[in-house]
Structure 1
Amino acid sequence: MTTSIFLRLLRVLPTKSMKDVPKGFVAVYVGESRRRFVIPVSFFSLPYSRVLMERATEEYGFKQEGGLRLPCDEEYFQDIMVRCYGMQFKKKDVSKGSVAVYVGQNMRRFVIPVSFLALPDFRVLMERAAEEYGFEQEGGLRLPCQEDDFQIILVRCFRKLRMS
């Protein structure tokens, strides 16, 4: 699927719903209940989300009323989003409004929204990081937890990001 298809899909979002979506993000609607999530636009270039976009095009077409719908259940969507955040470790640049964190024994890099750092799950991790590594860490922000645990925390954060 080409970038132009993604851009065509993005154009169908109503302007009024965009006012509460931060720059660089897009609102999508998932599942039968059409639960709303706000995700980074950059995810549309990753393989996991590309599959969802292709399915959305096949099922709903390019002209969707009421926003961009994705044909999957919420749990599957959240799993895809965690994988997308995990894939961003390959990127060297960190976009505005994001921060790189390093997790697990292998120090796997994740790029997450800065807003996650204010959430309770991340505050606990930040306090543990300060205790374990101190406030001046060289080479990036290390978080003292395993990758699997961190991915569970990401799912919780996505749930808090979604807007009713």
Structure 2
Amino acid sequence: MEKQDGCETAQPRAGDRGGVSDPWYDALASGWGDVDGTGAPAPAVPAQPVPGQRSAAGIYLEVQRSEAFQEVRRRYRRFVVPACAVFFTWYVAYVVAATTAPGLMAQRVTGAVNVAMVAGLGQFASTFLLTWLYVRHARLRRDRPALELRWDTQEMTRGIASSASKNNSAHGEGGQW
């Protein structure tokens, strides 16, 4: 790089295209750097849905409104809401007891171990227990239906993606690829 009049100018190296060594330089995203006939930036035009053809957004909304999706959500909520309420109550009870009942928390259980230490270790144990219960619940009650929904959604959108790429290449919008 050489400096001339305070401006930096890049000198092209051998093998560079236009002085830029980035292999993706020519592959700009649609609407980025496009110019109209006058040399001014071209306005970005959103993709228009083809009449009679489903869009990906429509498919995702359809899946979201389906009974199968709502059942997966219900199963999730039926576990998470009570579990969070129980865990939060247990945590707040520990903090409140530690601040308002120091005599209770200082009582010895055995040797140098007191109630506060047992309750504190119980916090860790309950965190691991809750994590195990959540993973087990997800594996047994939600993973299979969610995976089936995901598979069905991908199958529905796969047809859109392949027809959209065919339309783009037919219109000359497919780029270099």
Q: TM-score, normalised by structure 2?
A: 0.21
Structure with higher Rg: it is 2
Higher share of residues assigned helix: 2
Higher share of residues assigned strand: 1
Q: TM-score, normalised by structure 1?
A: 0.22
